[in-house]
Structures are given as structure tokens and as C-alpha cells.
Structure 1
């Protein structure tokens, strides 16, 4: 596992992300135990499925097929976290002023990265793959192969980003303070549970983290969110939490307020995204099945 300082764009107005920011950090879905990762998808993919057009999803699926065919050991865009490890690359995003979406200054957070697996690519190639409407461009396949190869599009202006499967510790205090302010207003009765979640992160547990995932029923396919609470049911883990203030005081967030242990209401950030027989979602589910079985996932 490699460690490095990175920079991540985190949506400071999306409560499931805000919860993880205040928690202190988050893990990519590839670190979930077998049996849990079948359901989970990355936050970026969840956002794309809920907010983007079908053509953008089709483009991402096509890009993923190229990865599987050419560099299958690289980290998937569907499961990894996008991290910038080069400040000059971030400055080129600012200069271009065309990325849009959540790539705005206030969302940029400094993070400590523990990468179980990583792939460094030049995001400048995406301009030759997907247009502003989310559709594939003519000749996109050749650009996609070069993107996954890790070669720069140009020597003078690469935009290096690292796709990471691993753990991320939020270092930016402005991000934590802004997130806590919003969470306190949205879910005041969950602040005790949030403190517990922070302590879980301090112990290296995935408990208390908000994950997104795909669920299906007769009506169709939906994006849902859930708060993981598996380790907290174990007596040994509870004992570790009790020892945390004495053994690792810098990772202790305080004693949870037992009167504010309500689960945050995540239903407003879930919803049906398409009919069950949608061809794009069928392709997506097939790809997620392949990802589950990939080495290192």
C-alpha cells in the first residue's frame, strides 16, 4: 500500500458526502468485504447516474470496456476515487474553466491517501473521448486506449489524476467545518451517531460511512444510500472503542450524545433511475459483476 498527499473535489452541498467529510474520511467501495461490495458503487458514479444523461452513462460504460480489454489491472472509474496528486494539474483545470459540475474551488479538499491500488492517467484525453453533452466523440476509441495507457496527451499540459482504491483522510479543516454546519442543520438528532462514526474512522473501521449502491425490484433500478454499521455490533469492537480515549486520544472525537443517535434520513438522496430492462443498466450491472471478481478489488 502506498501513501501520499492528494486533493479531491468533494461536493459540500450533498449530505451523504458531507457526513463522510465530518466523519474524518472515507474508503473506496473496493475495500468493502465480499458480500457488501456487490451493492455498493462509487459516489461519483451514483451522482452521474442520478444527474447525467443516458448518453453519459453509455460513454462511461464504453470507456470501462476499453479498460477491461487493454489494461484490466488498472483501477476502474466506476469504483475508484479521483485524486489529484499534482498541484499544476489542478491549476490547469482552473485555467481551462470548462470542467464544470462539482469541480469548483470551495469543493477542493486536501486528503491523506492510503492507496491499496492506483492508476495515474492524463484527464486531458477525456476531451477527445466525451463531449460536453456526455456523448462519445468520433475516434474516441483511440483516445481511450491512450488514456488508459497512462501516457500524457501533451508534454506541456497534462492533467494528471490518480484513480485510487483505498482510504482517504480529510485534512482540510474548512471542509470539515462547513460540512459540520450543514449536517447540524439537516440532521441535529444524528450528531451523537456522527461522533460514533468519527470514532469508528479513528479505529480504522468502515462503520459510520455513508455508501451508495444499486438496488433492483419489479419497478426498476434505484440508487440508495446506507450507513454501514457492522463492526459496531461486535463485543470486541465495542471494547476497542472504549479504550480509544486512552490508547489513541488524537483519534477520539468525544463521547457520543446518546440522545442524538438517530439515523440520518437518507431517503431524499435515493430514487429510481430507470426501468429494470434498460439496456444501459443491464450493461452496468454486468460490469459491476466483473469488477467484483477482479484481482485486488
Structure 2
């Protein structure tokens, strides 16, 4: 199904987009606009900097990730804004990945001030501004309301900045509350020796994500300890490399009650993995995460 669009004295057609994944390709002096009906068209629009334009209104943010792939920012079009709402207290998960090499983009989360528009009166709830093209991410518990996720081009970037963005809302105080997004938050590399990391999770940082790999004849036992309140862990193999936890990609999890240590034992297949530490209770806790590496007889 196609829709005919007229823009700047040109006539062309674009397909109707009905999935929850969107791609934006820019034509000089034009930008893609997604309407509430999910039609994608190319139209000349004012700068978002002056109009505070929302690129897309998602509606109620679902648990299934909503993704925007291969989006672009430039000097004249330096921000994209995505509106959504949650109707109950939820964990909001945002992941900004695949930022173009040599460039930088940052991620901000605002809460609507009640007027239904993205403007300077909205409250900045949180932000992520890691350097260079490192992934940016936010995982936090939030009350019901309308929110705006803003992707902003860093002024030091050399030209156009491309990126992927994923958003989801998961249930707090639940073993189903794990974030289903996989930013490269802590990159451990190949586990050729034991590794210990220390961290804290809380209502403003509900998930920590560690990326690591196992080579041939390498295995690992993983332990989460030193808890002051309940937290859980799970191990993921992102087989299709889309940075989202899809069906069949969870390898193992440990969800013991209370402050009992969590353990995932005898992972011994070579490959790339993500390990998530997830807040279960609504109370902040520090933790110690231990990767006990061992040698196997199998590849």
C-alpha cells in the first residue's frame, strides 16, 4: 500500500508503515514525519528547535520494545523527540545505540508539565551523555504521566549523526521487570580471567547491563552478592545482534527471594553474552558481581 506525497514540486510515493519499527531516510532540506496514524511521509517542516516538534507520539509505551532505526540528526535538524505515556508506575527503559563512528548523541527524558506540549516548562527527569559514540541509556522507575524522550546531536560531531533508539516499559517489583533492551553499559571483553565489579541499582537506575564474551574452552560462574535489598540477574545471548531481548535469547536467570545471593553456574559455550542486574524491590542496593572464569574441555 502506497501513499502519494507532494513536496517541493516533486511527486513521489512512500509505503504505509504499520510495524512498530521505523526508519528515517533524509532528503536534503526535508525530513520524515510520522503521523499518529503511523503513515510515513516526507514533508518540509519547521525546525524542532524553534517549534519543539514531537517526531512521533507512541501513545501508551508497551513492554514490547518500540524501535526507531537508522535515524539521522544534523546541524539544521539536531534533535528528535518521541512522546509516550505510562498509565501506572512502570520502569521506563531507553537505549540509544549504533551511533555513527566519530559522532556523538545524547539522550534526555522529560515529563510533561500538564499542557500536552513539549516545551521549556517540561521537567528534565534524567539524561545520559556518554562521550563519543558510546551507547546512552536510561532505566528508571516512573509514575504515571506523559513523557518525552529527546535524542540530541552533540555539537562536536563532524556531520550527520545516525542512531538507533529503543523504548519499552516493564513492570517493577516483578521477575518480568527486567529491561528488554541491551545497551553496552559495561563492556568486560573476553573473560580470560576472573572479574569482579561493584555497582548500585535503585529507582533511578533499575538495571545494569554487562557485556562479555567467552572464547573456546572458557566458562564462567556468575554470582551477585552483598545485597541490602532484593535484586536478580539474568544471562542473555543476543543471537540476532539487534540489542533487544527476543524470545529464546534468555540463557539463564536467578531470582531468589530477599538478599540471598544470586548464582548462574556453568555457562561454558563460547559466544557473546549480556548479564543484567535488575532491581526487584523499590529500595536501593549496592551489589558485588563476580565472574568466576574456568577452563573447559569443550569449545
TM-score by length of 2: 0.23
Structure showing the higher helix proportion among its residues: 1
Structure showing the higher strand proportion among its residues: 2
TM-score by length of 1: 0.23
